[in-house]
Structure 1
């Protein structure tokens, strides 16, 4: 039973709804400062994951190739398109006008939190761990953070934040179901490099959420698919030749 996956998605749904419903009732200083705190938290979590890296070259190669693939297939543009398509009907349904008037700022924040909720290292490993062992403690802890994160961002972006629970549920459930296939064929080296790759993306996500630098977060996501095979090839063949 994917208890952690369900609770995590419900936390985003409820947090997004409450944040959008309360809206401007939450003081401006809180709505302004907390996203910066969430950005800093994302960067800190990213650094914590990066230090677990086994080898830098395969992680960098995966990031470069993954970002190139993401840009070629216009992955970020696809997320922006979906966000724009969903924004209008949701605003009409709830009669809610987000506090973010600038379209570019709206999409910057939306893409950032989509990645934060759906592709964070904590969520990925939490779903895999629950799928293999039934331990949902990681996802339950993540649900607490996601509840408040969704609530604060919803005060600015509106009810569209609560809809992120749908892709989040799909991603986490897919990982939960595939855990029995992925983890048995992975090695500690592959997992370490995968963790570091996710950490780099989380670091970039934090910089984006904080408004420091607009990294192409969504376009970087294919790196998570590539990093484990590249890590395996690197440790098996390249390092064997070097030694």
Structure 2
């Protein structure tokens, strides 16, 4: 099995993306059978889980200055480019197009579902380590395990947060696949510190998302996504 997978570039990420599509589809189907009060409870639990995971991930950071500068500059750049507004308009346009083609789904939590799934599925250490593992020529064991976990998670997320979870499979494939392909070219520059710093910044973004989902304080989390680029640059060259 591993021999077959190793012959396909970024096979682990492809399988992971397909698992999310499958799980999201199942979640959207069963959503209609779940009472609203159960959905609300699940929504609150997801928010609490995101906060907890965000704290755990943030604690992995080794350099507070790099983390702070990365998030600060990333948020400024993202706000200047209006990334979240563009994302929201793009997803709504895609939704309208799908409705015109006969696909039906609810309006609720479209952007939140996309953001939650993207950050949960992409920002964890398993996503980074698994993509690195495949990039250095090893069987993608971590990504296969992650695929099973994401399959279950996407069912729960999609049943609560809607179709935005399904769309997250696209950036996941680009993100993890990009790391895998980039690792092949940058093996000499990758360190455990870089992995920890990326994970920590991802944790900060999860904290903002969790607070937003729980209606405690709204953060434009997607505007902070450029932070992930800044932390890579700072970790490599500072």
TM-score by length of 2: 0.82
Q: Is the 8 A contact 1:112 1:208 kept in 2?
A: no
1:22 aligns with 2:30: yes
Write the mapping of 1:10-159 to structure 2, written as runs, cut at 5 A. Answer: 10-98=18-106, 100=108, 105-156=109-160, 158-159=162-163
Q: Is the 8 A contact 2:62 2:193 kept in 1?
A: yes
Equivalent residue, structure 1, for 2:212: 208
**Larger % of helix: which?**
1
Unaligned runs of 5+ in 1: 235-243
Equivalent residue, structure 1, for 2:170: 166
Distance 1:213 1:146 in 2: 27
Distance 1:74 1:64 in 2: 15
What whole-Å deviation, never above 9, does each CA across 1:75-104 have from its counterpart, x for those lacking one?
A: 21221122111111223445423162xxxx
Distance 1:92 1:155 in 2: 23
TM-score by length of 1: 0.80
Task: State the Cα RMSD in Å.
Answer: 2.6
Equivalent residue, structure 2, for 1:189: 193
Q: What displacement does 1:160 show?
A: 4.9
Distance 1:179 1:30 in 2: 43
Q: Which among 204, 212, 232 is matched to residue 228 of structure 1?
A: 232
* Of 88-97 and 66-75, the range deviating more from structure 2: 88-97
* Of 185-194 and 4-13, the range deviating more from structure 2: 185-194
What whole-Å deviation, never above 9, does each CA across 1:117-167 have from its counterpart, x for those lacking one?
A: 344454233222322252433323332343233323433554453233223
Q: Is the 8 A contact 2:57 2:124 kept in 1?
A: no
How many residue pairs get aligned? The number is 230
Distance 1:206 1:107 in 2: 14
CA spacing shift, 1:208–1:11, aligned 2, 3 Å: farther
Q: Is the 8 A contact 1:99 1:157 kept in 2?
A: no
